[in-house]
Amino acid sequence: MAKTEVILTHNIVGLGGESDQVRVAAGYARNYLFPQRFAVPVTSANKKHIEALKKKRGEREAHEFNTMSELAKGVQKLICVVKVKAGDDGKMFGSVTAGMIADELKHQFDITLDKRKIHLEHPIKTLGEHVIELHLHAEVKSTLKVRVESLTPITVPAVEAKPEERRTEKRGKRVEEEKVEKAEVVEEKKPRAAKAEKPAKAPKAEKKAKTE
C-alpha cells in the first residue's frame, strides 16, 4: 500500500497532533485527511506554516491541561449515582460501563467527559460504592466515587437463629422460670411473723398487812 507524508493541522487520536509530520496511506490522506482539512501535503510552502501550527497546538494543550486540572480537583468531591436493575437478593442484572458513568456525569453535574477517559479495568457488577480512575490528560489523573444503587428496594431476608442459639435461648428461659418458681416456694414456706405479745402487767403490790 502506497504511503505518503502529511502535516497534520488538527489533533487526530492515534495519529498525532497539530504540526506533526506523519506517514499515512495515500488513499487515507487523499480521501479523508485532505478533504476534511485535517492535514496538508508536505511541501516547502506548507512547512512554513509548521511554526504557526505548533503555536496553535501549544495553546490548545495548555488550555486542555488547565481545564482538566480544575476538573480533577472538582470530581474528587463528587459522588456519581448510577441506578440499575437488581434482584431482591441485590444481584445486578448486567453491569455499569464507562459510557453509563459518562452519561450520569452529564445528567447530574453537567460535566461532559469522553468515556475513554473513564478507566475501568472491568465493568462494575456489584451494588455499593466504588472508586474509579479518570485519565483526564496525559499528565492529569483523578478519581471519582460511583455509587451503584438498585432501582427497586432490596428485601433483606430475616436471619433465622441457628439451632445452637435456639437451644441456648430455651435453656435461658427455663433457668429463669425455675428461679421464679423457687422464689415463690421459699416465699410460701416463710412463717408469718407472730404477733407481738403484750407484756404482762406487773401484779399490783399487795397491801401491806395492817400493823397490829
- Say if residue 39 is in the same domain as residue 96: no
Domain count, the chain: 2
What CATH number is attached to the domain comprising 66? 3.40.5.10
Residue 210 lies in a domain: no
pLDDT digits (tens, 9 = 90+) for 71-100: 999 999 999 999 999 888 888 888 999 999
- Say if residue 92 is in the same domain as residue 38: no
- Say if residue 132 is in the same domain as residue 109: yes
- Say if residue 86 is in the same domain as residue 54: no
Q: Which of 103, 122, 150 is the last residue of a domain?
A: 150
- pLDDT category at 10 given cuts 50, 70, 90 is confident
pLDDT of 167 above 80: no
- Say if residue 99 is in the same domain as residue 146: yes
Domain limits for position 55: 3-72
Residue 161 lies in a domain: no
Query: Lowest mean pLDDT: which of 19-23, 89-93, 197-201, 205-209?
Result: 205-209
- Say if residue 144 is in the same domain as residue 78: yes
- Say if residue 31 is in the same domain as residue 80: no
- pTM (2 decimals)? 0.57
Summarize the confidence of residues 161-167 as an average pLDDT.
60
d(C-alpha 38, C-alpha 33), whole Å: 5
pLDDT of 7 above 80: yes
Query: Lowest mean pLDDT: which of 10-24, 26-40, 70-84?
Result: 10-24
- Say if residue 66 is in the same domain as residue 87: no
What CATH number is attached to the domain comprising 141? 3.10.430.100
pLDDT of 209 above 50: no
Summarize the confidence of residues 63-78 as an average pLDDT.
94
